[in-house]
């Protein structure tokens, strides 16, 4: 009789010590609510940053503004490039600037003083 009582007591203690189950993952119902998901995706591109790796081994971080973009290179070069009209994608710089960054989707071209380098979104 003592053995049965000890076995039942052991099972009761083990059941109390079992880790709590994640009921959301098990059932798929009522997922947790995210209270602060961050800023909503907006049509305003100001402040969004994109990192590109280029064939000349440079890494360029483009941070879009309303009328321009900031291009920060791994070499330490930091440029403000004016937004230019583009039929598709984006275009920054050019004109009187020797620097130009043109792209669409995940591909881009980095132009420096007439030389072009292919870049890809990382």
Task: Give DSSP secondary structure letters for 47-69.
Answer: T-EEEEEETTS-EEEEEE-SSEE
Q: Contact at 8 Å (CB) between 122 and 53? A: yes
Would the pLDDT of 22 be above 80?
A: no
Its domain, for residue 82, covers 49-121
Which CATH number do you get for residue 65?
Answer: 2.40.128
Say if 88 falls within a structural domain. Answer: yes
What band does 5 get if pLDDT is binned at 50, 70 and 90?
low
Average pLDDT value for the chain: 77
Say if 14 falls within a structural domain. Answer: no
Say if 30 falls within a structural domain. Answer: no
Decide: residue 63, CB within 10 A, 0-12 exposed, 13-18 middle, 19+ buried: middle
Would the pLDDT of 21 be above 80?
A: no
Look up the pTM and report it.
0.60
Look at 61 and 96; give whichever has higher pLDDT: 61
Alpha carbons 17 and 10: distance in angstroms, whole number? 11
Say if 103 falls within a structural domain. Answer: yes
């Amino acid at each position: 009789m003592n053995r049965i009582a000890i076995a039942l007591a052991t099972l009761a203690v083990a059941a109390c010590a079992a880790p709590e189950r994640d009921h959301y993952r098990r059932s798929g119902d009522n997922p947790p609510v995210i209270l602060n998901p961050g800023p909503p995706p907006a049509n305003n591109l100001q402040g969004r940053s994109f990192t590109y790796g280029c064939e000349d081994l440079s890494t360029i971080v483009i941070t879009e503004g309303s009328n321009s973009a900031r291009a920060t290179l791994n070499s330490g070069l930091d440029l403000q490039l004016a937004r230019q009209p583009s039929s598709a994608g984006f275009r920054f710089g050019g004109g009187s600037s020797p620097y130009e960054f043109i792209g669409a989707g995940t591909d881009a071209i980095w132009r420096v003083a007439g030389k072009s380098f292919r870049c890809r979104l990382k």
